[in-house]
Structure 1
Amino acid sequence: MFKATEIVAAAAANAEAECIEQLKKTDAIPLLMNFLLNQENVLCRDPTTVAAKLRKMVIGGAGKTVVISDFDYTLSRFENEQGERLSTTHGVFDDNVMRLKPELGQKFIDLKAKYYPIEFSPKLTMEEKIPHMETWWGTSHGLIINEKFSKSTIEEFVRQSRIVFRDGAEDFIQSLDAHNIPLVIFSAGIGNIIEYFLQQKLGAIPRNTHFISNMILFDEEDKACAFSEPLIHTFCKNSSVIQKETSFFHEIAGRVNVILLGDSMGDIHMDVGVERDGPTLKVGYYNGSLEDTEAMEHYEQVYDIVLVRDPTFTVAQKIVDVINSTH
């Protein structure tokens, strides 16, 4: 029989050992924060809060982590080395259709010219923008369906597209898969385009990767015949468009710590609807003008870490590496 004093001593020893183990896990946090705060292109409004979130994530480890990421201009690059704007998933049709059917291609381009400024207008509220986004997405999707593009044609469009991964994004996706960290790609773009792109670049879609996006539905002849419902646009990327029976909910059960990656104001609520009690570390890519200090300040207010004109996945990779290295 243990004496009461021995039981207390054993409990204290276990608590101390656990405390030491947790301290070991969080030793890397000061180094990571020092790295972040010394990068010229990194903005961090509240380093103390960021460090606290990272500490919880490191203690939880890979088994408690899930990554929720936008695709267009987040996993993919905004521009190339020459400063030329690259394509989004919807832009794949803009680029390719213009070559094959200029009249139809011009319709896609005209839609973007009209609605893109509205999407990023600082003078309009989100509520004011939503009807315009619904019209833009709905009209664009209607053009795709009316043309009855085949699956093979769309796959070739992707092969010829100007979508480019951010430097290190492929390694990032594969490292998540290697450590069994789910990656949820939450996109207001076209999910099939993302799937085809990953298949072409990685050889296959990693087993840990899940999609919440607008999906083209095909008929028995593999012709585009409809889009999935509900419509997902920039400003409804939250639980309202997530089907609760979606398989990935089982995959992320118990994943209480979220790394959220986005590039717009519409991305900051992508974690809403994921039941958990851990922190969300929001990392935002700012692709706008360096002279627009007001816009950058807005990003700082809603994202924990802002990456200014950063074409790489270096910061996200370092964060995941620290989480993985402690287990």
Structure 2
Amino acid sequence: FFRLERFAMPIPKQHPCLRIWGKCASKNCAFANAPYDLCIHFAKGQCSFGDHCQQLHDSTYSWKEKPTACKFYMQGMCTKGLKCTFSHSEPKGKDTGPATLEPKLATQKQVACKFYLQGLCTKGLQCKFAHPDPDAKDVIRPAASQERAAKRMRLEELQHTAKAMSSGSFQKERLQADPVEAFIAAFSIADTGVVLSKPQQLREKLKNMRQLALEGNISFVVDFDHTISQYTCVETKGRGPTTHSIMEGSYTEDVRHKAKELQLKYYPKEIDPALSMDEKIYWMERWLREAHQLTIDAGITLQQLREAVVASGLVLRSQFEDFLHFAQQRKFSLLVFSAGIADIIEEIFKSRLTTAAHPEIFANKLKFDANGKVVGFHEPVHHVFNKRLSSYCQLNLNLENDAASRTQAADKQEWVIDTEGSVGLAQLETTEDKGVICIGDSLGDAEVVDVEVAECIRIGYLNTAVDERLGAFKEKFDIVLTGDRGFGPVLDLCYAACEFS
């Protein structure tokens, strides 16, 4: 995470204080000649990460106390921590005796630990402050100076936690700090390709999500094309395939050329920040209907579509299946809501996933005749700017109220593919008590959750034109992922919002 190369300056070989704080306030620092990547917490005997720590653990460099005692530390009020040039223990050779030492400890231990009262303290018996019953009437609350000292120590601990995290997903056993704060710290101070649009607002949303997760009220709504699927094509290094372009792989050369012309004509309108939403909806409607007519005219079959999926080279984003397992294991509902082709998404899951349980799919559904030939599409058509969760919820509500079975209703309006063993979302006909995590790659995907929910976190994959579109994405999404990132940061958020030890 922490690379000084981006500041165009050489990495020092010594002095870990420069790595942590950027400078050292002490002229006679005990770590001046220590390796640059030395773990100062280990040198103090306080590192809680063990073998998982990303910094150097070298017993040669142990904490050497300074000769003069810190008078502020003696009062429990020092705010300098490791940078303090005075000793944080009794000076050697000085007989403090019970009368001298006991008053300091008694005063410190009588003051309540602010983080313990919030359920966040990780120090246990080593904490310098008292851990009383929060409801006790005689609890001495921290003074303002002591609160500042505790806040500084807390920040240093969170930064150390963030530095020890790998670039992949959270590992539960390594999270010694509050997971919400660790997540915010990790992606606020590191150049990770992850942009937190409004960290304070996200912090509150994550805390709300944790409460909803305790009740099992978490649902995921995820786009497919260039969200679950990778944007960059592995072979050409250009724009990767979509479900529509895979279907076009079954076309003749003439029809494929026409489809390419449609893509070149309409895709720029999809991402044009100067167009209003009404204008975008108009152009997307035209694009889909013209593309669908090409498919019907091409006379392709289901078998041809399956062969096109195999030959497409489409790749799912890294760690998507880990994300799928996360939802399955915790019985959280997961819906793939796409403007793509439902039948092709189903074939991709069958060929790319190792698990038998696939997500439920709500997307454009093909009509086939008795010979497996495409003869049309079921209405209404879905594109990036009109797909809304309210339409799905209403369909589920209608099915719940209908005496006919779900299968019979699907014969009339085959929008939903509920594969065998799928992670269903049927409980979303009511959403007021749900926490929804919505993931997509277009500004339209940020508008998918148009129903009342208890909480919603929106994650956006910004795949192209990052400099031009980042501002608009930050307005719509709580978290923006750039650089064709996998589902690692999404898993990090899931652990922060939904995981409990």
| Class of the TM-score when normalised by the shorter of the 2 chains | 0.7 to 0.9
Opposite residue 187 of structure 1, the aligned amino acid is S
Query: Of 234, 259, 266, which residue of structure 1 is paired with 2:437?
Result: 259
User: Aligned in 2, Cα 1:196/1:61: closer, same or farther, shift over 3 Å?
Assistant: same
Query: Of 67, 77, 86, which residue of structure 1 is paired with 2:220?
Result: 67
Q: How does 1:194-233 map to 2 (within 5 A)?
A: 194-203=345-354, 206=357, 209-233=359-383
1:147 pairs with 2:321? no
Q: Does the aligned pair in 2 maintain the 1:61–1:326 contact within 8 Å?
A: no
Q: Which sits farther off after the overlay, 157-166 or 32-41?
A: 32-41
Tell me the distance in 2 between the aligned counterparts of 1:145 and 1:31: 52
Aligned equivalent of 1:137: 288
Query: Of 255, 262, 271, which residue of structure 2 is paired with 1:120?
Result: 271
Which secondary structure state, in structure 2, belongs to the residue aligned with residue 55 of structure 1? helix
Opposite residue 131 of structure 1, the aligned amino acid is Y
Q: How does 1:27-176 map to 2 (within 5 A)?
A: 27-40=178-191, 41-61=193-213, 63-80=216-233, 83-94=237-248, 96-97=249-250, 101-176=252-327
Q: Which has the higher helix share?
A: 1
For residues 298-319 of structure 1, give each alpha carbon's deviation from its aligned partner in whole angstroms, at most 9, with x where no partner exists. 1111101111123211111112
User: Aligned in 2, Cα 1:240/1:65: closer, same or farther, shift over 3 Å?
Assistant: closer
Which secondary structure state, in structure 2, belongs to the residue aligned with residue 86 of structure 1? coil
Tell me the distance in 2 between the aligned counterparts of 1:68 and 1:140: 25
Which secondary structure state, in structure 1, belongs to the residue aligned with residue 385 of structure 2? helix
- Residue 93 of structure 1 deviates from its aligned partner by 2.6
User: Aligned in 2, Cα 1:66/1:21: closer, same or farther, shift over 3 Å?
Assistant: farther
Aligned equivalent of 2:474: 300
- Residue 51 of structure 1 deviates from its aligned partner by 0.6
Q: Does the aligned pair in 1 maintain the 2:243–2:345 contact within 8 Å?
A: yes
Tell me the distance in 2 between the aligned counterparts of 1:297 and 1:184: 28
Q: Does the aligned pair in 2 maintain the 1:179–1:324 contact within 8 Å?
A: no
Opposite residue 228 of structure 2, the aligned amino acid is L
User: Aligned in 2, Cα 1:35/1:111: closer, same or farther, shift over 3 Å?
Assistant: same
For residues 145-186 of structure 1, give each alpha carbon's deviation from its aligned partner in whole angstroms, at most 9, with x where no partner exists. 222321111111111113211111122112211221111111
- Residue 217 of structure 1 deviates from its aligned partner by 1.7
Q: Give the structure-1-normalised TM-score.
A: 0.84
Which runs of no fewer than 5 residues in structure 2 stay unpaired?
A: 1-116, 123-174, 400-423
1:309 pairs with 2:483? yes
Q: Give the structure-2-normalised TM-score.
A: 0.56
For residues 82-120 of structure 1, give each alpha carbon's deviation from its aligned partner in whole angstroms, at most 9, with x where no partner exists. 6321111111133x236xx21111111111011111111
Aligned equivalent of 1:284: 460
Count of aligned residue pairs for this structure pair: 301
Rg: which structure is higher? 2
Which secondary structure state, in structure 1, belongs to the residue aligned with residue 426 of structure 2? helix
Tell me the distance in 2 between the aligned counterparts of 1:149 and 1:241: 29
Opposite residue 261 of structure 1, the aligned amino acid is I
Which runs of no fewer than 5 residues in structure 1 stay unpaired?
A: 1-18
Q: Which sits farther off after the overlay, 144-153 or 106-115?
A: 144-153
- Residue 321 of structure 1 deviates from its aligned partner by 2.4
Tell me the distance in 2 between the aligned counterparts of 1:237 and 1:219: 27
Q: Does the aligned pair in 2 maintain the 1:285–1:307 contact within 8 Å?
A: yes
Q: Does the aligned pair in 2 maintain the 1:67–1:258 contact within 8 Å?
A: yes
Q: Does the aligned pair in 2 maintain the 1:36–1:315 contact within 8 Å?
A: no
Higher relative contact order (CA 8 A, sep 6+): 1
User: Aligned in 2, Cα 1:183/1:68: closer, same or farther, shift over 3 Å?
Assistant: same
Q: Does the aligned pair in 2 maintain the 1:29–1:55 contact within 8 Å?
A: yes
Aligned equivalent of 2:331: 180
Q: Does the aligned pair in 2 maintain the 1:195–1:205 contact within 8 Å?
A: no
Tell me the distance in 1 between the aligned counterparts of 2:222 and 2:247: 23
Q: Does the aligned pair in 1 maintain the 2:183–2:493 contact within 8 Å?
A: yes
Q: Does the aligned pair in 1 maintain the 2:440–2:461 contact within 8 Å?
A: yes
Q: Does the aligned pair in 1 maintain the 2:230–2:316 contact within 8 Å?
A: yes
1:272 pairs with 2:422? no
Tell me the distance in 1 between the aligned counterparts of 2:223 and 2:297: 28
User: Aligned in 2, Cα 1:258/1:55: closer, same or farther, shift over 3 Å?
Assistant: same
Identical-pair percentage = 27
Provide the alpha-carbon RMSD of the alignment.
Answer: 2.5
